[in-house]
Amino acid sequence: MPICNICGHDGFVPGPFGRLSRAGFAPRCARCRSLERHRAARQALDRIREPDLLRELNLIRFSDDPILDDSWFRTSEISTFEGANSLDIQAIDRTDEAYDVVLCCHVIEHVPDDRKAIRELTRILSRQGFLLLVYPRAEEGDITEDWGFADPEKNGHYRGYGRDFEGVLADSLPGIAAIAVEATDPVTGDGKKFAIISKSLVWTRRVLEHVPGARLLSERA
């Protein structure tokens, strides 16, 4: 019986709009509400998580997802897209390097200029931690499709990502380590792709050494 690696629960229900996983499994944890992308990202983070390191760091999350636990960090802040404390990730109203850990999960596809958003997310990232950037469809499509508007029939997305987006990340972040990560959801078996971005040599090495399948896309200066 599969177990949620975030909360330890063994009960699952269909996802949004009754969606099932690629293999036909109910993907949403009935307790913590996690989906494939959350559990796959947690798989990678559990390999690099060191409590003594994290408890000195400040966190901001741009989505109310259960990938990270606020209690791991010295301080935490949540900005919910079009909800509480909603910050525009294309022009974040915070100072440079204000946060040590930044989580942005399935948000950049909802804004007109995702490259500007990535630069902003990186701008507020300190040299002590990392940005976890999770975006949809990266493991399925070859080419990113941008239709130029928030399509209501596609959950308000401006675009669907493809494998080519790794090149965009590398080109958009000169002098900063951008790492592509592939991880598997332990419940459904679905593979997910996302990125970990860091200005810290310590965290960059930690990801590359401890997360299977992690690949450096761009070098630090």
Instruction: Give the residue extent of every domain in the chain.
Output: 35-218
- Report percent pLDDT > 90 for the chain: 82
Q: What value does the mean pLDDT of the chain take?
A: 93
Angstrom distances, CA of residue 151 to CA of 17, 114, 160? 16, 15, 11
Token pair of 99 as six digits: 């946060």
H helices present in the chain, as ranges? 36-48, 51-54, 114-123, 165-172, 201-210
221: pLDDT strictly greater than 70:
no
Of 29-38, 77-86, 89-98, minimum mean pLDDT range: 77-86
Q: Are strands 157-160 and 145-151 parallel, antiparallel or unpaired?
A: antiparallel
Indicate whether this model's pTM tops 0.85.
Answer: yes
201-219 tens-digit pLDDT: 999 999 999 999 899 998 6
pLDDT category of residue 4 using cuts at 50, 70 and 90: very high
pLDDT category of residue 37 using cuts at 50, 70 and 90: very high
Q: What pLDDT was estimated at residue 216?
A: 95
Q: What pLDDT was estimated at residue 220?
A: 55
The rounded Cα 184 to chain-centroid distance in angstroms is: 14
DSSP 78-124: E--TTSTT---TTS-SS-TT-EEEEEEES-GGGSS-HHHHHHHHHHT
Q: What pLDDT was estimated at residue 86?
A: 87
Residues 29-45 as b/e (b if ≥16 CB within 10 A, e otherwise) read beeebbbbbbbbbbbbb
Average of pLDDT values for 170-189? 92
Q: Does domain 35-218 have CATH number 3.40.50?
A: yes
Q: What pLDDT was estimated at residue 218?
A: 81
Q: What pLDDT was estimated at residue 172?
A: 84
Average of pLDDT values for 123-135? 96
